[in-house]
Every structure is written in C-alpha cells, then in structure tokens.
C-alpha cells in the first residue's frame, strides 16, 4: 500500500476535532480585547463574492470601489467594512485592472483620513478564486503607491487562512479539509477542486501555494503556524514566526475552532506592533475576530419581517449554483410545509440565438403571476450541469456570466415587490444584489442560518429595507434552505 504524504493526504474522521486540548479561552479573550484595542487600524475586506459577510453583523458592505465609497467607509466609526468586488465572475485581465484601481483608491482614502489599514482579500473557503493574481496585484500596487508618496510600505508576508467553522472547513497539519458527513475530506479531493475555472489538486496548503503560483513559490519556503502552537497558546513563538517573514513570504495557518483564530490574532497584533506588515487571503473567520464582531443569535422572522402576518410572506428564491449540495437543498425545499411554486429556468438556451431572452420573459411573467397571487416562488436553473466542450477557462466563465445576467434580468424586471429575496450561489447573489436590486450600500443584518448572511437593502435600492438573503452554494445542511424559507414564511 502506498504511503500517504502531505501531497496525498487521507480523509480523517470528524471525531479528530475533539482530540485537541483547548487553551484558556478566558485568558485569550482578555488578551485579544487588549490587542484589538491597541491595533488602531481600519480593517478593509475586499470580498470576491457576497458570501464573505457570513460571520458578521452591523457592518457595512459596499458594492462599488469609487473614491467616494472608500472615503465614506474610512469615515465610518466601525473598525471594519466590506467591499464586494465579485471578482470571481471576472476574467484575469479584468481582475488585475480592477484590483489595481482598488489599491490606488484605498491608498488615497487611507492617506486622506490619516488612518492606516489591514487588508483582507476574502475568498472561498474551498480555495477557489483568482489566486495569486489578486493578492499579488494588490501588494505590488500598494507598494508602488507608497513609493510615489514617500511612505515606502513593504509587505513582509501573505497570510493564507481558509478556516471557516460555520461551513465545515478545517486546516490541520497544513492540510485543508472539507466536512462531508462524518469525515473530513482533503479539499483537493472534493468537487470544489474540479471547478472548471478555479480548479486545483493540492490539499496541503504549502503545495497549493506552489501549484497556484506555477512554481514561483516553493512549498518549502512557506511558513506554517501549527495547531499545536495555537492550542499551546504560544503567542510569542507565533509572533516570532510572523516577524521572520520577508518579501511577501507565504504563511499558512492551521485552525479547527475560533479559539485558534483568537490566539493567532493576538500574535498577529503583536507582530504588527513590531512594524511588520501583512496581507490576508482568507475565508470569513479571521474577519470576525479582527473586526471584534460579537456572537449574535440567528435572525428570526420577527427580526426580518415584523410587519408581515405569519404565513402571508411572499418571497422570491433564485437558485443559480450547481454544486451537488445546492441540488440536494433544492430537493429538500420541495418538501416544505408551505406551498412554493417551482419554476425551472433553462440556461441551456444560451447556445441559441435569443434563447435566454425569451426564457427570461417566460419565467418573469410566471414569477409575477405567483407573487401577485400571494405565493413564494423558486426559480432554479436546470440541474443537469452545463459545461462547454473546451478547456478554455475564461470561455466557461463568460458563459456562466451570461447565464447569471439572465437571472439578474428576471429580478430586475419584476413589477411586484416580494417580502424577501433569497439568492443561492456566490456570483448569482452578487449580480442580483448589485445589478437587479441596485444596491450601493447595505447593512449586514446577521445570519438566518449558520454562514447564511442577510443584507438590509439601502434606500437607493430597488426594494428599500427589504431583507436579501445570500445563501452560499457550498455551505449548509441539506435542510438549511428549507428551514430558512420556513423561518421567513412563519
């Protein structure tokens, strides 16, 4: 039998998570509060899809990166804000261009406000996205801007932190895992690693860095912050490792619970106080901890729809994601205790001239009919996956974007105001929020299920004040979509 190595990690039983002794959480919390209080920097989160706010509440999320937006966000009292870039729907050239612009405007806003910042490039907890393009572009542009102003900022390290408790993503011994039933599956062995645009093979994060950088970064050069160091509360040791980083060196961090993130955050603040500068590529856990966001109960119907009588809410559900988990959640929704009209959208018509236009008109008319009659309706793309017969990743992305644009047109064309909108899938959710609902700034209300965030739409939007639920394609139990709908319908 072939011996397993970090390049070929084995699945682990879920019970392994219970085998690590925890440090004194009360003591760590006290140290963290003190560290964050002295940090005195704005936490800036550039989010490549709208699901990154799945761990926070009472935080602003902006949907553009204009100069005015950056100035307004730095003027907020809150220590953290999000900017939705939706870059996972962009081509590589678009991503590079837009991130250069973001970096320049971020630099200008920081200088105008007199407040320094910590930058987090928030991305998918299953390692999909434009990496290392985004962080390398941000690093180079920020360093160039600082040189032009005489500030001479240099990034010592890039912290790679994909742990995400709410979504069942864990990192142990440098290997990133996805919870699947009662086991932890190495991320490179999941369906997410087969993504047509952002696929990968490595689960061991140092190898992943080497793979994604096409050998520019060697696995041997990556600094590893181990779970044993975190659980021992070895803050000084971790801070020393961080302080040793040079030349944008990659740093991967183990974690299986928020206590690990808190220990790391204390050490991180210590390294920052020593003059070190880092950029994060992370999932949503570190944003909550560095932003000092407290725990909050899941949102209820009374929180979200206090003026709508029970069982009279009429909502619109848009399902664009095609991962297997979404399909299973859609099937479970069909067994809801409330009546829901299900409308299939045939995205395969994208290959016919004008095919999607006609399909949009058909489905929009049916959805309006159901909403006027007082029903909730679910619009979903055909469940048989549609892929082009090509290895051209950007061609695949363009088709996905065209299909997403058609779903946007359905929501944008509605003449009836629903009581709520739920969107399933990252790119779909972003496009519906920004293009169909015309959101420029929203407040993150909280979560209706674990890792399922709710925006309260701003006054400038198509439906002011309405709850917009952003349901990631790759998280939640099979029943979570159904439970969320039943919570809203009461």
Using a 10 angstrom Cβ sphere, with 0-12 exposed, 13-18 middle and 19 or more buried, the burial of residue 385 is exposed
> Both 71 and 135 in a single domain?
yes
pLDDT digits (tens, 9 = 90+) for 376-432: 999 999 988 666 666 777 777 777 778 888 999 999 999 999 999 999 987 788 889
Report the C-alpha gap between 476 and 125 in whole angstroms. 13
pLDDT tops 60 at residue 4: no
Cα 449 to the center of its chain, rounded Å: 15
3-state secondary structure string, the chain?
Answer: CCCCCCCCCCCEEHHHHHHCCCCCHHHHHHHHHHHHHHHCCEEEEEECCHHHHCCCCCCEEECCCCHHHHHHHHHCCCCEEEEECCHHHCCHHHHHHHHHHHHHHHHHHHHHHCCCEEEEEECCCCCCCCCCHHHHHHHHHHHHHHHHHCCCCCCCEEEEECCEHHHCEEEECCEEEEEECCEEEEHHHCHHHHCCCCCCCCCEHHHHHHHHCCCCCCHHHCEEECHHHHHCCCHHHHHHHHHCCCCCEEEEECECCHHHHHHHHHHHHHHHHCCCCEEEEECCHHHHHHCCCCCCCCCCHHHHCCCCCCCCCCEEEEECCCCHHHHHHHHHHCCCCCCEEEEEECHHHHHCCCHHHHHHHHHHHHHHHHHHCCCEEEEEECCCCCCCCCCCHHHHHHHHHHHHHHHHHHHHCCCCCCCEEEEECHHHHHHHHHHHCCCCEEEEEEEEECCEEEEECCCCCCCCCCEEEEECCCCCCCCHHHHHHHHHHC
Residue 410 within a domain: yes
Residue 4 within a domain: no
Output the pLDDT for position 409: 95
In CATH, what number is assigned to the domain containing residue 30? 3.40.50.10840
Q: Among 263, 290, 317, which residue terminates a domain? A: 290
> Both 218 and 316 in a single domain?
no
CB atoms within 10 A of CB 473: 25
Residue 482 within a domain: yes
> Both 330 and 377 in a single domain?
yes
> Both 240 and 370 in a single domain?
no
> Both 350 and 269 in a single domain?
no
Output the pLDDT for position 5: 57
> For residue 381, what are the domain limits?
301-489
> Both 305 and 342 in a single domain?
yes
> Both 133 and 257 in a single domain?
yes
Domain count, the chain: 2
Burial string for 156-187 (b: 16+ CB within 10 Å, else e) reads: bbbbbbbbbbbbbbbbbebbbbbeeeeebbbb
pLDDT digits (tens, 9 = 90+) for 212-229: 999 999 999 999 999 999
- Is the pTM above the cut of 0.95? no
pLDDT digits (tens, 9 = 90+) for 268-300: 999 999 999 999 999 999 999 999 999 999 999
> Both 202 and 306 in a single domain?
no
Report the C-alpha gap between 265 and 33 in whole angstroms. 10
> Both 284 and 311 in a single domain?
no
- 230: Cβ contacts below 8 Å, ≥ 6 apart: 23, 238, 253, 254, 255, 259, 260, 263, 264
Report the C-alpha gap between 441 and 460 in whole angstroms. 8
- Residue 76 near residue 42 (C-beta atoms within 8 A): no
- Residue 123 near residue 281 (C-beta atoms within 8 A): yes
In CATH, what number is assigned to the domain containing residue 321? 3.40.980.20
> Both 352 and 466 in a single domain?
yes
pLDDT digits (tens, 9 = 90+) for 142-192: 999 988 877 778 999 999 999 999 999 999 999 999 999 999 999 999 999
pLDDT digits (tens, 9 = 90+) for 122-150: 999 999 999 999 999 999 999 999 888 77
């Amino acid at each position: 039998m072939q011996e397993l190595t970090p390049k070929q990690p084995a699945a682990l039983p879920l019970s392994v998570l219970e085998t690590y002794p925890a440090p004194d959480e009360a003591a760590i919390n006290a140290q963290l509060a003190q560290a964050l209080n002295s940090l005195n920097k704005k936490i800036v989160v550039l989010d490549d899809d709208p699901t990154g706010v799945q761990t926070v509440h009472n935080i602003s999320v902006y949907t553009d990166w204009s100069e005015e937006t950056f100035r307004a966000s730095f003027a907020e009292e809150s220590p953290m804000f999000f900017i939705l870039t939706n870059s996972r729907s962009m081509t590589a050239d678009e991503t590079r261009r837009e991130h250069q612009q973001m970096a320049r405007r971020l630099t200008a806003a920081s200088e105008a406000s007199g407040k320094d910042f910590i930058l987090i490039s928030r991305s998918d907890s299953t390692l999909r996205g434009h990496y290392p393009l985004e962080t390398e572009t941000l690093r180079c542009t920020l360093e160039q801007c600082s040189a032009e102003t005489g500030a001479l900022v240099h990034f010592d390290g890039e912290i790679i932190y994909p742990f995400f408790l709410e979504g069942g993503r864990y990192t142990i011994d440098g290997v990133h895992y996805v919870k699947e039933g009662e086991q932890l599956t190495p991320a490179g062995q999941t369906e997410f690693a087969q993504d047509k645009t952002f696929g990968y093979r490595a689960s061991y994060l140092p190898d992943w860095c080497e793979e994604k950088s096409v050998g520019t970064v060697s696995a041997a050069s990556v600094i590893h912050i181990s779970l044993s160091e975190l659980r021992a509360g070895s803050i000084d040791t971790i801070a020393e490792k961080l302080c040793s980083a040079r030349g944008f060196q990659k740093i991967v961090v183990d974690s299986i619970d928020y206590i690990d993130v808190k220990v790391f955050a204390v050490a991180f603040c210590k390294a920052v106080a020593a003059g070190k500068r880092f950029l994060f590529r992370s999932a949503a856990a570190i944003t909550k901890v560095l932003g000092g966001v407290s725990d909050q109960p899941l949102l209820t119907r009374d929180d979200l729809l206090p003026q709508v009588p029970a069982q009279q809410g009429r909502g619109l559900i848009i399902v664009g994601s095609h991962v297997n988990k979404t399909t299973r959640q859609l099937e479970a929704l069909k067994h809801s205790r409330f009546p829901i009209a299900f409308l299939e959208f045939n995205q395969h018509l994208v290959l016919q001239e004008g095919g999607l236009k006609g399909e949009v008109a058909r489905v929009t008319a049916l959805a309006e009919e159901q909403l006027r009659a007082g029903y909730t309706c679910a619009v979903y793309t055909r469940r048989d996956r549609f892929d082009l017969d090509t290895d051209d990743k950007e061609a695949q992305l363009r088709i996905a974007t065209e299909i997403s644009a058609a779903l946007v047109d359905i929501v944008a064309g509605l003449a009836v105001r629903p009581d709520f909108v739920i969107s399933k899938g990252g790119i779909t959710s972003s496009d519906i929020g920004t293009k169909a609902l015309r959101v420029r700034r929203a407040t993150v209300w909280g979560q209706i299920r674990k890792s399922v965030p709710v925006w309260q739409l701003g006054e400038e939007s198509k439906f002011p004040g309405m709850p917009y639920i952003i349901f990631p394609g790759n998280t939640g139990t099979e029943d979570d979509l159904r439970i969320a709908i039943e919570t809203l319908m009461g």
